[in-house]
Amino acid sequence: MTDEEFQRLKETEKKHLRAKKRLQATLKRLKQRNEVQGVVQRMKQGARRLLDETESLVDRLRRAVAERKARFEVALEDPGSGGEDLHEAEETLRDE
């Protein structure tokens, strides 16, 4: 092998190694990006679940308040039905 052939072979190998190094760096960045995207996706799913649970709790609370408020208002409208209903409604509201 002549010196010229050796130099050409060496330069070709250098180009190959540089290209391989660039590809490895690109692969590393892509893996990092995929990992970050996975974390973000899991965070979004968790936030979505939390929002759904919160909405469900708020809806249940609204229903309970509406029911108790209706009971209290009915008890106030009909004072002749007995003081126990009024007392029970007041106790229910105080407990909340």
All residues at 6 or more sequence positions from 68 whose CB lies less than 8 Å from its CB, including other chains: 89, 92, 93, 96
Q: Classify the C-alpha dihedral 85-86-87-91 as positive or negative.
A: positive
Give yes or no for residue 64 having a pLDDT over 70.
yes
User: Tens digit of pLDDT for each residue in 3-41?
Assistant: 999 999 999 999 999 999 999 999 999 999 999 999 999
**Is the separation of the CB atoms in 83 and 73 below 8 Å?**
no
- The percent of residues above 70 in pLDDT, for the chain, comes to 89
Instruction: Report the number of distinct structural domains present in the chain.
Output: 1
Q: 75 pLDDT band (50/70/90 cuts)?
A: confident
DSSP-assigned letter for residue 81: G
Residue 86 is part of which domain span? 3-95
Q: Structure pTM?
A: 0.52
